[in-house]
Amino acid sequence: MAKAERPEIDHGAEMARLQETIGYHYKDINLLRGALTHSSYANERGRDIQCNERLEFLGDAVLSIVVSDYIYRRNADIPEGELTKLRASLVCERSLCEFAGKIGLGQAMLLGHGEELTGGRERPSILADAFEALLASIYLDGGMEEARRFVLSFVIPQLDREHIGAFKDYKTMLQEVIQQNREETISYRLAGESGPDHDKRFTVEVRLNSNVIGHGTGRSKKEAEQQAAREALALMGRTDL
């Protein structure tokens, strides 16, 4: 039996729901619509429809400055390297996807037919990108303070839950495991990259001697390496990740 297609979404109702959920009501509703428009939808509808990629580009910058400013002021005694790690843990795809899930962002997306049928509403990369686009749309519509309020409503609870010391440096954890046998060596290799210059995705594999023991993807090589190390630790049976 053929799989039933998802019923047509009332996008106006979804935009109204989303505004209530995030506690922000747009002066220019077209900014919200643009943030929710995936490239697959725009490609199907023609060149007059703008997708959310430009908003995503801006949202990435706004996200970085808001999070950087907050953790810098909150953690006066933490060195630059640790601040960088902490910021990366808060703005990575996994975190943004989690934030998007809390507000039901996937339900409100405008997707092309193919993405709709293949689970695009739950795809982490689509949700993370849409969250950044949504942030940019709030910034353009309401200014930096509204954008800051929106971002910190997610970041502060996550920091309180995980706390500063809870950021896990998976590469160091993996190295400590491997160092128990001095004959073993760990190395990381860039396996591929994709996406436009302003939004690269890097894929890295981690090797134990010559054997691949983990893969990771991220917006930077460092993030991809951390995710590869995390996968390797999970395969080794670590349950504290």
Q: Tokens representing 182?
A: 């001095």
Between CA 19 and CA 13 the distance in angstroms is 10
Burial of 177 (0-12, 13-18, 19+ CB in 10 A): middle
Residues with catalytic annotation?
A: 60, 132
Q: Tokens representing 135?
A: 């942030």
Helices (H), 92-215: 93-102, 113-117, 124-142, 144-162, 170-178
Neighbours of 203 (CB within 10 A): 18
191 sits in which H/E element: strand 186-194
User: Taking the CA of residue 153 as centre, how many other CA atoms within 13 Å lie in the half-sphere pointing to its CB?
Assistant: 15
